[in-house]
Structure 1
Amino acid sequence: MTTSEETISDLRAMSAGSAGYAPVSADLLARLADDAEHGGPVWSLIGGHPQAAEPLFGIRAVAGVRWLMLSGLAPELAEHLRHLTAGIGDREYATRTWQLSAQALLDHPDQTRAALDRPVQQHQPGRASVLLAALGMLGAPKVRLLELGACAGLNLLVDRYRWFGPGWEWGDPDSPVRLVAHGKAPGDLTIVERAGCDLAPRDPADPADVLILHSFLPPERDIERMELDDALALAARSEVRVDKADAADWLAAELARPAGDGDVRTVVWHSLLWGYLTPRQQTDIERVLSEAAARMPLARAGFEPHNWGLAPRLQVTVYS
């Protein structure tokens, strides 16, 4: 199978970008790039996927490995990764990790293909710290929060976490989810309504969906794994609404309803979503926001990279 230089380059770039915080995943991506370059057995299995040329396809493949391990289908790999801390930086250990990972994919082609069909959903609750910063910038006393690409709704629970910033604390003091924040305290605000949409929403009370979300966490990120479990348990109790819907259509329907009294500001939030949308979808969302701004106090907070090779950045837009 002939693989484009751009696809191989994307895999190597993703590997380099992951090396600092997820060295095991970074090494797997680098070896997957080698496999693709030489027409190896793993790429022969997965390279024909219709989205194989997309920038984040390698993340789906690595998540597929992780899903196989977590689901009990790759016990030898699971046992191997029990010694992960001692093995980081050891080339023989890394080679064995790749061998066991590749074998797991090849041994379970149906499950591997199913994993490749799933959208990337790296849904750690700590990302809500960016949303918290945006809400602090806006300074609205009452907020209706709408999220595009909400997954399991963890960002929508931003006020139900306990945040620890430099010299301040904020949020529910009894929350089981306790996270570090940066910058200034967000001040007094109340989220009076919250809802989200996603093309593939995840139910935080469904063990199968929980397993999928865990599959996108690198195996060496122990703290994030515990935070995710705590946030999913809280979300399951909170029953936050996340509808399965197209972002533009859903947003238009939500913004057609009034937000409440005059001091409620509607905030539309999205993170690491924009690059998945087509230009037409992006235009439709922009149009819906512009039209709604004439009827209500409205703001948009996005945490997105300029392109997949760059770090995401927060951009807050206030419509007047």
Structure 2
Amino acid sequence: MLAELFLDASRACRVHSPLTHTLLVSAADDLTRGGVTARVMAGAQCDRHGTVPGLRFAGALHRLVLEGRAPALARHYPTVGGEPDLGRLWDDALPVLEEHADELRFLVTSTVVQTNEPGRSAPLFGGLQTATHLAAAEAGRRATFPVRLLEVGASGGLNLRPHRIAYVVDGVAAGDPGSPFELDPKWTGRPPVDVRHPLRLVRRAGCDLDPVDVTTEDGRLHLSSFVWADQLHRFRRLQAAIDLARLDPVPVQRATGPEWLADQLAQPERDVLTVVWHSVVWQYASPADRAMGRAILADAAARATPQAPLALLVYEPRRTHRTDPYEFQLLLKLWPAGVSLRLGSGAGHGIPFTWDTAPWT
């Protein structure tokens, strides 16, 4: 039932975004009673859990606020200078839903959730450093490999420039100290290698079913709308990442993951470490695409050599037996070295992160 999916999404943000939690709980109740939310969500009644219709609903409302077209609701949204009054939030949302029901329905049904969270570049950076050192050791090289980074489900491509970010760890900057985008990764522990070593990315490419052009205002608004509006630190981080992306553009190709990956991995590249990367996209992929992607990667892994190595580096939620049913884990496989590691775990947005290297089983 759609109302249950809204409540599922509300539970995920209860601690970190009281505004989104309150909005979704109220919307779920309105759905059950057949209120205006049911009109806004018409056509989404059969959506599966992984498409998170509740967050698409919240994102559509946030976009109207960011565009300055819902002033009464905007007073609750810190991203435009507001201060949430949770007791009045739904009362102020209802007139907006009534006035813009058709437009909101179009936004909800025509978009997918794309957080494209740049905070995930922090664990990616440490994971890439680890992969380059391990691949060099396997090949008997003194210098680490340059990297060809391939991102599946890249959205706006904000995580395709991890080497262009300044990571400030205990007052020391790694990555690019001169970057306009400074990031505190909030690490507990450290990667198993020295991250101060220069990371060389010689080629970068990404694909997405619905790529976002962050050089446009529409693209900026689209990604910004999916940030929970009372998480100003994430909103500001996203704006900094977009500014960096505009200075260092990397086009994202419209394509399915398996089709694109097969083309990218058709031939191994000597003296380059090829890294396939994805973060929080697995839930959106169909079972058929997942199976095809695994087969394509396995075929490429079989052709990898010590001088043309291949790595898979992912940051995805995995089921656990702990109180929280999911844990976001950074996982690394490296071929032909046979490395399979769980490098650590962290928040869904990549920050904070705890490094704790163990076998990936």
Normalized against structure 1, the TM-score is what?
Answer: 0.89
| Deviations, residues 83-108 of structure 1 (Å, cap 9, x unaligned) | 999955xxxx3232112223222211
Counterpart in the other structure of 2:139: none
Structure 1 stretch displaced more, 308-317 or 160-169? 308-317
Alignment partners' CA distance in 2, 1:83 and 1:252: 40
Out of 262, 268, 275, which is 2:283 matched to?
275
Structure 1 stretch displaced more, 185-194 or 170-179? 185-194
Instruction: Say whether residues 1:285 and 2:293 are aligned partners.
Output: yes
SS in 2 for 1:294: helix
Alignment partners' CA distance in 1, 2:80 and 2:161: 32
Counterpart in the other structure of 2:123: 130
Amino acid aligned to 1:213: L
Equivalences, count? 309
Structure 1 stretch displaced more, 223-232 or 38-47? 38-47
Out of 48, 61, 65, which is 2:57 matched to?
61
SS in 2 for 1:121: coil
Alignment partners' CA distance in 1, 2:293 and 2:39: 38
SS in 1 for 2:302: coil
Structure richer in helix, relative to its length: 1
Structure 1 stretch displaced more, 302-311 or 224-233? 302-311
Counterpart in the other structure of 1:151: 155
Contact 1:300-1:317 at 8 Å conserved across structures? yes
Contact 1:194-1:241 at 8 Å conserved across structures? no
| Deviations, residues 158-216 of structure 1 (Å, cap 9, x unaligned) | 00000012464211111111001222342343111111001111111100110011101
Out of 216, 219, 222, which is 1:206 matched to?
216
Structure 1 stretch displaced more, 7-16 or 190-199? 7-16
The CA deviation at 1:50 is: 5.4
Give the gaps of 5 or more residues in structure 1.
none
The CA deviation at 1:53 is: 4.4
Out of 301, 306, 313, which is 1:301 matched to?
313
Q: 1:45 to 1:266 in 2, by over 3 A?
A: same
Alignment partners' CA distance in 2, 1:175 and 1:100: 41
Matches within 5 A, 1:1-320: 4=1, 7-49=2-44, 52-55=47-50, 56-81=52-77, 88=84, 93-116=85-108, 117-138=110-131, 139=133, 140=135, 141=144, 142-166=146-170, 168-181=172-185, 182=187, 183-184=190-191, 185-186=194-195, 187-259=197-269, 261-262=270-271, 264-296=272-304, 297-306=309-318, 310-320=326-336
Structure 1 stretch displaced more, 296-305 or 282-291? 296-305
SS in 2 for 1:134: helix
Alignment partners' CA distance in 1, 2:266 and 2:57: 40
The CA deviation at 1:315 is: 1.6
Give the gaps of 5 or more residues in structure 2.
136-143, 337-361
Alignment partners' CA distance in 2, 1:157 and 1:149: 15
Contact 2:79-2:235 at 8 Å conserved across structures? no
Normalized against structure 2, the TM-score is what?
Answer: 0.79
Contact 2:66-2:80 at 8 Å conserved across structures? no
The CA deviation at 1:82 is: 5.7
Alignment partners' CA distance in 2, 1:114 and 1:311: 33
SS in 2 for 1:311: strand
Percent identity, aligned pairs only? Answer: 33
Alignment partners' CA distance in 1, 2:82 and 2:93: 18
